[in-house]
Structures are given as C-alpha cells and as structure tokens.
C-alpha cells in the first residue's frame, strides 16, 4: 500500500505533489525527510512554487533515485478528456490547476491517479477539497475552470523496466504494515493476525497505541473509526479507506479494489474480530 504525505499549510502543494508522484511510482523512502529536500530544491516560499521549481524537484528526485529514463513528460494544456485518456492508459498526472480555492482563484498542484468509469470518479492525492475521490463534475470544474488559463502538468508512467512493482500480499496485516510505510518481516505472514500484532508490539516495531482490538466488529464501529482515518484488519481483508459518506471502501484482499458498502457489511458479518489501525504519529 502507498502511504502518501499530506499538506499541512497553504503553500507546499507543489513539492508534496512531486514527492507523492515518486511514491506512486513505487519508490520507498522517508516522505518527511525527502519533502524537506524537495521544498528547498523547488525554491518554495509562502507564495508557493513556480512551475520551473516543480520541474527542478522532479529532476532532483530522478537523480536521487537514479532514474535513467524519466517517466515524466510535460503537457502544457490538459483537458479533462485528455486526463481520462492518460489515466485509462495506466498513467498518473501531476496537475497544476487554477480555480477558486476557498474563495479566491489560485493554483493548486495535486496528483490524479485513476478514473473509475462506473462511478464517474477520479482518484486524487491532496486534490480538490482534499478528497481522495472526486466526482466527474467537480474535477471538470477544476481542470477546465478558465479556458484562458489551461491546466497543465506532468504525465507520469510506471516503467516496468525502471523498478519492480510490489504486489499486494494476501496477508491483511502485511498490507496494514505496508500502508503504514513499514517493511513487513517475512515471518509475520505465517502468523495469525492476533499473534502478528503481539509480535509487532513485543519487538517495538510499532507502539501498542497503533492497534485497537475489537472482538465483535459492527458497521457503526467501522464508520466511526474510519471517519477518523483508521484502517481495519479483519480476517484476511485490509480495509484501507472509506469515502466521506460511507458508500465506497478501498479493500485489499488478493488484489486491490473499491467495494460498495454492502460488500463490506458482508465481510464484517463473516469475520467479526479485527484490529483498527491508527497511522497518526507513524513516520512514513
């Protein structure tokens, strides 16, 4: 699972988008430390980051991670249909869009990661309204707000020859550790979830406070904990994320998928016991 970094001020969206782009590519690194480096390289100040600064950040991380054939190319005019075409081809987009942000018109940089035709939703990282999923209508208003100021950005492709992509594991606790940005020990996948959590706490790999055991998980528990950003390990399923209104969940189980609420209700009924996982305070 990819642990992206979040924005905690009003002016570092550019460097954050650069760092998250390399996380999307599959590189493993300390996000906070690397962000500090990229902010400096980009020349970011309280007024934001220039387009050339973002380009400098990309070049810096290309060099840092020894990427010989850069997976980035710049598109100076991105329409929404262009974006959908890129995303459907397996690319991501580091987008620069100018639109009203909390009132005044400003430019924001964020990552677009996929488009779901069935739900008419875009996956985004640090996107509009900080939503992970953005509707077609909302994204169109962002990408095509003003024809005189077209959206632009770097289109990114995972190059298979560039680095191996980690597959999703079948073990739910292993996925939880990956979500936390931790490299799982090989022996953990041979343990039960409960034994694995005990091992992690005993070896001080993570503090005890990260895990909240629930012997009879109900959907109201799921809604409450996940609304505060927790994930859930239950049976052989890892529930990484829930939409704001609780109609869609990100579930990892022998692969990665988005599930409707009724699917998650059945998972909870089948397994009952689980651990809610709190990533707050865990360095990624």
Question: Do 97 and 208 lie in a common domain?
Answer: no
Q: What proportions of the chain, in percent to the nearest 5, are helix, strand and coil? A: 35, 25, 40
Question: Do 228 and 124 lie in a common domain?
Answer: no
Whole-model pTM: value is: 0.64
Supply the pLDDT for residue 256.
67
- Among 108, 129, 157, which residue terminates a domain? 157
* Paired tokens of 155: 């289109």
Question: Do 70 and 135 lie in a common domain?
Answer: yes
Supply the pLDDT for residue 130.
64
For residue 239, the tally of other CB atoms under 10 A from its CB is 28
- Distance between CA atoms of residues 35 and 70, nearest Å: 20
Residue 258 lies in a domain: yes
What is the three-class DSSP state of 96?
A: strand
Residue 255 lies in a domain: yes
The residues that bridge with 211 in the sheet, in sequence order, are 277
Supply the pLDDT for residue 244.
67
- Tell me the CATH number at 125: 3.90.70.10
Question: Do 137 and 264 lie in a common domain?
Answer: no
- Distance between CA atoms of residues 41 and 58, nearest Å: 10
Question: Do 137 and 262 lie in a common domain?
Answer: no
Closest alpha carbon to 143 in 107, 113, 116, 119: 107
Task: Quote the DSSP letter at residue 24.
Answer: H
Supply the pLDDT for residue 280.
60
The residues that bridge with 213 in the sheet, in sequence order, are 275
Question: Do 272 and 176 lie in a common domain?
Answer: yes
Residue 282 lies in a domain: no
Contact 34, 25 (CB under 8 A): no
Q: How confident is the prediction along the chain (284 residues), in pLDDT tens digits per residue?
A: 577 898 989 999 999 999 999 998 878 888 999 999 999 999 999 999 999 999 999 999 999 988 877 789 999 999 999 999 998 887 899 999 999 887 889 999 999 998 888 888 898 999 987 667 899 999 999 999 988 889 999 999 876 444 444 445 678 998 888 777 777 787 888 899 999 999 999 988 888 989 999 999 999 999 888 877 789 999 999 998 887 677 788 888 877 677 889 999 999 999 989 999 987 655 44
Residue 221 lies in a domain: yes
Residue 8 lies in a domain: no
- Distance between CA atoms of residues 195 and 213, nearest Å: 12
Question: Do 153 and 180 lie in a common domain?
Answer: no
Contact 155, 71 (CB under 8 A): no
Closest alpha carbon to 24 in 85, 111, 84: 111
- Tell me the CATH number at 202: 3.90.70
Task: Quote the DSSP letter at residue 128.
Answer: G
Question: Do 211 and 121 lie in a common domain?
Answer: no
Cβ within 8 Å of residue 185, ≥6 positions away: 199, 205
Question: Do 64 and 35 lie in a common domain?
Answer: yes
- Among 103, 127, 157, which residue terminates a domain? 157
The residues that bridge with 112 in the sheet, in sequence order, are 93, 124
* Paired tokens of 260: 């409707």
Residue 151 lies in a domain: yes
Question: Do 111 and 201 lie in a common domain?
Answer: no
Question: Do 149 and 177 lie in a common domain?
Answer: no
What is the three-class DSSP state of 244?
A: coil
* Paired tokens of 26: 């599959």
Alpha helices, DSSP H only, in the chain?
13-24, 31-42, 51-64, 80-88, 136-143, 172-179, 193-202, 219-227, 261-271
Question: Do 33 and 134 lie in a common domain?
Answer: yes
Residue 3 lies in a domain: no
- Strand pairing class (248-252; 133-135): unpaired
- Among 134, 157, 180, which residue terminates a domain? 157
Our count of domains for the chain comes to 2
Q: What is the domain extent for residue 218?
A: 172-277
Residue 164 lies in a domain: no
Contact 15, 32 (CB under 8 A): no
């Amino acid at each position: 699972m990819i642990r992206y970094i979040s924005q905690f001020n009003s002016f570092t969206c550019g460097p954050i988008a650069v760092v998250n782009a390399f996380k999307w590519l599959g590189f493993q690194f300390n996000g906070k430390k690397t962000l500090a480096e990229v902010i400096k390289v980009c020349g970011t100040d309280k007024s934001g980051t220039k387009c050339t600064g973002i380009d400098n950040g990309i070049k810096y991380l290309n060099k840092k991670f020894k990427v010989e054939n850069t997976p980035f190319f710049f598109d100076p005019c991105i329409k929404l249909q262009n974006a959908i075409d890129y995303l459907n081809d397996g690319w991501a987009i580091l987008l620069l869009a100018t639109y009203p942000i909390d009132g005044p018109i400003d430019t924001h940089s964020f990552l677009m990661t996929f488009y779901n035709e069935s739900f008419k939703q875009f996956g985004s990282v640090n996107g509009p309204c900080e939503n992970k999923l953005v509707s077609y209508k909302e994204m169109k208003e962002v990408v095509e707000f003003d024809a005189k100021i077209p959206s632009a950005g770097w289109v990114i492709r995972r190059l298979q020859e560039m680095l191996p992509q980690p597959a999703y594991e079948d073990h739910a606790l292993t996925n939880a550790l990956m979500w936390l940005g931790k490299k799982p020990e090989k022996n953990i996948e041979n343990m039960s979830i409960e034994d694995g959590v005990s091992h992690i706490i005993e070896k001080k790999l993570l503090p005890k406070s990260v895990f909240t055991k629930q012997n009879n998980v109900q959907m109201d528990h799921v809604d409450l904990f996940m609304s505060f950003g927790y994930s859930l390990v239950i049976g052989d399923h890892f529930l990484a994320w829930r939409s704001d209104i609780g109609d869609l969940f990100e579930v990892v189980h022998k692969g990665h998928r988005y599930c409707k609420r009724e699917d998650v209700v059945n998972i909870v009924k089948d397994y009952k016991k689980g651990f809610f996982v709190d990533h707050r305070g865990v360095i990624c």
